Amino acid sequence: MNPLEGRNILIGVTGGIAAYKVVEVASRLKKSGANVRVIMTKNATEFVSPRTFQEITGNPVSVEMFAEKIHVAHIALADFADLLLIAPATANFLAKAAHGIADDLLTTTILATTAPIFVCPSMNTNMLENRVTQENLKILKNLGMKIIDSASGNLACGTIGKGRLPEPEDICAEIEKFFAENFVPREKNSVEISAGFGEVLTIVENPLPLAGKRIIVTAGGTIEPIDPVRYICNRSSGKMGYEIAKVARKHGAEVLLISGNSTELQPENLHFQKVESAEEMRRAILAEYESTNAVIMAAAVSDYRVKNVAAQKIKKSDENLTLELVKNPDILKELGQNKGKRILVGFAAETENLIEYANKKLEEKNLDMIVANNVTVEGAGFGTSTNIASLIHRDGKIENLPKMSKSELAEQIVRRLEEKFLLKEG
Ligand code: PMT
């Protein structure tokens, strides 16, 4: 089967002369079986008419932020996408995307999507090589977007140099490669994607792969009190777990996000429970474990807590202060001992011997998969918007993933979970 078959691809077209070449990109993707939708910026419509893309894709084309009949169009479009391709990407667009400016439908959708984003810069050579543009490209790359390099040749401005949009077949080949390597085929069926407020955005031929599944995701660091004022915590921001919860929800699961300490905003459309200590997190999970199909534990759970929490603020008196710590319950190990048919995914935050230590945790906690991250590597681990992870499976298979945004990694983890459900359920 073609890896593009049934995929939802959203194309963002910005205002460059190469917009006309993207008509062929859309056409090729559609012919390969993808469900293609297009967002055009106002400037893009100066080069190609929305009607052209509408005819090619068979779907309405979105331009205006507020003219849509559908409410919250950017959210619906963001949710629709398995992949967002920006082609051509102008210098102006790159600058806006790199700095989170959301002043039209396309830039707003980019902020709202958790789908992988591919960007094809296309412009005059001097504009491309300008340091500001190069810095913006670096930012986007570090945020985990894939930059498809511009080609060299004759440019519309009459010069010869780098800045051409790559040929449509090369852009499509990159996308096809991505889906071939990363995506589990979904079963065919008919499903409506709601755009909210009772409106239906589109009908696609995919059921949401996690429909009917109840999944617990944990995130953030636990807080272990010392006295009414102080506590022991760790560097977890909650980003990784929150992204997983959002992706699992997007894929149709009923999600309970149990969050320790986190700086993230509470996501919409899922069950949410805030906890502090490891013991509280344990109780919250166990209360729902019976009716749960899978647990993904991205939380950084404190291994120890203070034995005697002081009832009053500890006064600064002696030169030294000794706190006696006792072991916390190992939540995931306990879940593993009563696993039943559930799928359990853990994380391993390591600073050395990544694979060896992670493997040990996979065994000890009876997990189906462990996501191992070396938290000392730049762009990985605590607080960053990217991560670098190895996915270690129960059968010994190890996938060493490149650096990617946490939302993209969340997509990968959720896809593997879907694969495991398919295998378990035969
Ligand atoms: O939150 P972010 O800033 O985005 O950072 C992401 C992250 C680095 C926190 C995340 O990627 C990560 O690695 N989370 C796991 C952190 C951790 O506690 O790892 P661990 O190796 O100590 O624990 C192994 C597994 O057992 C984890 O799934 C953990 O949730 C679980 N555990 C640990 C201790 C304990 N007492 N009970 C547990 O269930």
Q: What is the pLDDT of residues 148-170, one digit of tens each?
A: 999 888 877 778 888 899 999 99
Looking at residue 51, its pLDDT comes to: 94
Distance 82 CA to ligand 1 centre (A): 27
Query: Is the CB of residue 202 below 6 angstroms from any atom belonging to ligand 1?
Result: no
Ligand 1 binding pocket includes 299 (Cβ within 6 Å): yes
Distances (CA, A) of 379 to 243, 358, 375, 388, 414: 16, 19, 9, 7, 21
Q: What is the pLDDT at residue 183?
A: 53
Ligand 1 atom 36: the closest Cα is on which residue? 330
State if residue 300 touches ligand 1 by the CB under 6 angstroms criterion.
yes
Q: Is 278 in the pocket of ligand 1 (CB under 6 A)?
A: yes
Ligand 1 pocket member 346 (CB < 6 A): yes
Atom of ligand 1 nearest to the CA of 350: 21
Expressed in angstroms and rounded, the spacing between residue 92 Cα and the centre of ligand 1 is: 40
What amino acid positions are annotated as catalytic residues? 157
Name the residue with the closest Cα to ligand 1, atom 18.
300
335 alpha carbon to ligand 1 midpoint, in Å? 15
Q: Which whole-number Å values give the CA distances from 110 to 11, 25, 101, 115, 417, in the listed order?
A: 11, 20, 10, 9, 25
Question: Is residue 348 lining ligand 1, measured as CB closer than 6 Å?
Answer: yes
Q: Which of 236, 369, 390 has most ligand 1 atoms within 8 Å of its beta carbon, as the pocket-test mutant? A: 236
- Single-letter code of the amino acid located at 313: K
Dihedral over alpha carbons 379, 380, 381, 382 (to 10 degrees) = 0
User: Cβ distance 87 to 13 under 8 Å?
Assistant: yes
pTM comes to: 0.62
pLDDT of residue 336: 98
Residue 60: the pLDDT is 86
The predicted structure's pLDDT at residue 211: 87
The answer to whether residue 24 scores a pLDDT higher than 80 is: yes
- 267 Cβ neighbours under 8 A, 6+ residues apart: 242, 245, 246, 249, 257
pLDDT of the residue at 71: 45
What tens digit of pLDDT does each residue of 51-83 get?
999 999 988 888 876 654 444 566 778 888 999
Average pLDDT over residues 385-414: 95
Mean pLDDT, the chain, as a whole number? 90
| pLDDT band of 37, cuts 50, 70, 90 | very high
Per-residue pLDDT tens digits for 1-20: 688 988 999 999 999 999 99
Q: Check residue 68 and give its pLDDT.
A: 45
pLDDT 10s digits, 338-364: 999 999 999 999 999 999 999 999 999
Here the contacts of 390-393 (C-beta below 8 Å, separation 24 or greater) are 390/354, 390/355, 390/358, 391/416, 392/355, 392/358, 392/359, 392/362, 393/368, 393/369
pLDDT at residue number 67: 53
**Residue 61 phi, psi dihedral angles, 5° rounding:** -105, 135
Handedness of CA 416, 193, 250, 284 (dihedral sign): negative
Amino acid 65: pLDDT: 67
Q: What average pLDDT score do residues 92-120 get?
A: 94
Distance 300 CA to ligand 1 centre (A): 4
Residue 199 pLDDT: 41
Protein residue with least CA distance to atom 8, ligand 1: 381
Average pLDDT, integer, range 363-375: 97
Question: Distance from the CA of 405 to the center of ligand 1, in angstroms?
Answer: 18
